[in-house]
């Protein structure tokens, strides 16, 4: 299986520094990062580790759910998945990812709502990114099936 790479070039301290994340394997772009913007409500044109984790989780979960629907005898028609990743204080000091909420609205043929919801839960448990994030105390799933 392949290995994917990203690189960050950082200058300065935590509060006054900044960096740029480069998606090396795909070559699709470079994105600015800074801690003050990471911890602010407005990202103001920068990304963060949490946003990148959200992108990884939503895309991985979409693939896993598509597979689970197929395993249940259904055919995925559309999946709209959002991952919200929350940065919060760590009781041990510093910060941690305190919560992830996956929200999916899906349409599939050949499967009913109960089958879809079962597939959604199985995808949450089986998605490789979900497995990598098992240290997060709260990974919530809100799944909606549209007939």
pLDDT tens, residue by residue, 21-49: 999 999 999 999 999 999 898 999 999 99
Checking if the pLDDT of 52 tops 90, the result is yes
The pLDDT value recorded for residue 147 is: 78
CATH code: domain of residue 81? 3.30.300.20
- Residues 85, 106, single domain; the answer is yes
| CA dihedral (119, 125, 126, 127) positive or negative | positive
Count of domains for the chain: 2
Query: In angstroms, what CA-CA distances link 11 with 14, 32, 51, 79, 80?
Result: 9, 12, 21, 39, 37
Region 135-142 average pLDDT: 94
Task: Assess if residue 79 is contained within a domain.
Answer: yes
Domain carrying residue 121:
49-145
The answer to whether position 13 is within a domain reads yes
> Is 21 in the same domain as 56?
no
Is residue 2 one of the residues assigned to a domain? no
Report the residue count for the chain. 147
Same domain? For 98 and 31 the reply is: no
> Does 15 share its domain with 82?
no
Whether residues 22 and 69 share a domain: the answer is no
pLDDT of 1 higher than 90: no
Judge if pTM exceeds 0.75: yes
Q: Is the pLDDT of residue 8 over 90?
A: yes
How does DSSP classify residue 110?
Answer: S
Examine residue 81 and state whether it is found in any structural domain, yes or no.
yes
82 plus 140 within the same structural domain: yes
Closest by CA position to 87, among listed 128, 127, 124, 43: 43
Q: Does residue 79 share a domain with residue 35?
A: no
The tens digit of pLDDT for each residue in 102-127 reads 999 999 999 999 999 999 999 999 99
Residue 1 counted as domain residue:
no
pLDDT at residue 90 in the model:
93
In a domain, 113, yes or no: yes
Tens digit of each residue's pLDDT (9 = 90 or more) over 71-90: 999 999 999 999 999 999 99
Burial class (CB in 10 A: 0-12, 13-18, 19+), 33: buried
Q: What is the pLDDT of residue 117?
A: 98
Structure confidence at residue 100 (pLDDT)? 97
pLDDT at 130: 96
């Amino acid at each position: 299986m392949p290995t994917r790479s990203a690189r960050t070039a950082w200058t300065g301290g935590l509060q006054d520094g900044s960096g740029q994340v480069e998606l090396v394997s795909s070559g699709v772009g470079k994105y600015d990062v800074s801690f003050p913007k990471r911890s602010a409500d407005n990202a103001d044109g920068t990304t963060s580790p949490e946003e990148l984790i959200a992108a990884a989780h939503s895309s991985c979960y979409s693939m896993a759910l598509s597979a689970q629907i197929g395993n249940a005898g259904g055919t995925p028609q559309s999946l709209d998945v959002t991952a919200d990743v929350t940065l919060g204080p760590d009781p041990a000091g510093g910060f941690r990812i305190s919560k992830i909420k996956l929200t999916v609205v899906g349409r599939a043929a050949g499967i009913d709502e109960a089958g879809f919801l079962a597939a959604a839960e199985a995808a949450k448990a089986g998605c490789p990114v979900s497995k990598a994030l098992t240290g997060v105390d709260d990974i919530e799933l809100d799944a909606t099936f549209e007939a």
